[in-house]
Structure 1
Amino acid sequence: MSKDLFENLIRTNRLNHAYFLEGGNEKFSLWLASKILCGGHDEECITCRRIFNHNHPDVIYIRPEGLDIKVDQIREIHEKAAYKSADGNGQVFIVQSADRMNIQASNAFLKFLEEPKQDVKILLLGQSKEGLIETIRSRVQVVKLDESDGFMNEAVSRGLMFKGLGIFEEIHVNVDQAEQYKDVADDWIKAIRDVLESSKLHAIQKVQLWEKQFENKEQRNICLRLIQSYVKALYAETKGTYHLWGNVPKYTWPELLTWGNAIDELSRSIYSNGHFTLQMESFLKKVCKNVGI
């Protein structure tokens, strides 16, 4: 298994400075970060709990803002790597959906790879190494994770079977979260589709209910990632490629550009602690049409 491989590399001090974990998921990357920074077998220690709860200062997690990872996010990595690690055990940078870095971000990230600090480890996650530019691919060690390490296998082994499970996998919700929200997940997906496919007036009226439907920061983060997934599906629909959202409207490319710009702006505003409902209303005013009212 992949876990045995990495435990052996850590034990024998042969761990490379950068990996692309093909098929990797968030839970696996956090497990690996805990092994790198802690090394123990007790995942309930303080260090491991902080890592798994996303509040360890030496584990820096990057995921797409909108449809891709942008150059400003990579610049933040450079800045954070300039500081010493808080616990003195090094830093781990985890880049979720690394195969969705745009070209400017990819070029900036290449410089980061070429000038590694000794105590920095870089974990890139993604579905296919082919999504990386060749110069990045040649500088990382690619490890295709065993299927047994994947989201869907673990979800099925726990008996998690709801309609939107595949979408939850796509937005990189971990299995624990999928289990926690299994009873409301399909309702969330339906609510998001209903709002995004409504006229502007009706969409703004309906989105006000989300304040109660998505009650806390974690749930609102999932909401945002579901919207990002929906917009990604709109692009796929226009290109005639497969997506998980079933029948969605087909837009022209200029209309899709409006959706893309709007979701990027929404992502930035939400991640910077913007007011949830007001930011959602602003987004809907940009993308929904004045029809059917």
Structure 2
Amino acid sequence: MGKVLVNNQLMDRTEAIIDIEDRGYQFGDGVYEVIRVYDGAVFTADEHLDRFFQSANKIKIDVQFDQKQLLALIHQLIEENNVHDGSIYMQLTRGASPRNHIFPGSEIKPVLTAYTKEVARPEGNLETGVKAMIADDIRWLRCDIKSLNLLPNVLAKQEATDHGCYEAILHRDGTVTEGSSSNAYIVKDGKVMTHPATNLILNGITRQVILKLCQAHQIPVAEEEFQIEDLKTADEIFISSTTSEIMPIVELDGQSIGDGKPGPFTRKLQTLFLKEIEAAKSDV
């Protein structure tokens, strides 16, 4: 079954107990992160933990550990479960207290939980590309917080699945924001474009790596709003996330993008990203 983390204790999954009045369960009152592991090495851990602490701060939850302590617990969990290629899911809730919309008092402590699982790189999809559809962005206005409130994302992802698609690319009144569980990009006239990191999107860690790679390798890139029509007429489309990496979109709403194959900008970024992964593994 493997070990899980509850606060600062590693224990068997069957021993882990969460109170029925935990506010994460009743209100979605918490935040989370998903961190990738390649060959036993944690990828972009500092960036993920930075965002985890930022999200917690934005909803006024006090993390009971500093980042160094939390990273040490993550490494223990990986080693205990002998994770090779996988991920760590971690979440922090405001804690357990009698149900009330108002925050509980300071005597109620946040609850941290984490677990690991093996997840192979999606090499087949990365090579051939996937299908996507366009959907309305019905989420709340603080998408910059990686909160537990994911029902609109779940509905969009399920709609995409029901239509045989890998992802739903979302828009607000015609302005493309991001995917249901990813950031979205187009390539048009030799330039990569993605929505700026405002409250309307989550500033993905893979997104941050992509922007740095573009800047380091003279790939024209702009954090600019673009419209549905730009998406439909793009030379290339790709999405990114911790588990999807840099995923080509080769069909949108039943229409081929470009020649229906991953384009040269997407391929170049995939190659550069893979080098980042290899470099991170060698640093361990």
Q: Is the pair's TM-score, using the shorter chain for normalization, greater than 0.5?
A: no
Greater helix proportion: 1
Instruction: Report which structure shows greater RCO (CA 8 Å, sep ≥6).
Output: 1
TM-score (norm: length of structure 2): 0.30
TM-score (norm: length of structure 1): 0.30
Greater strand proportion: 2
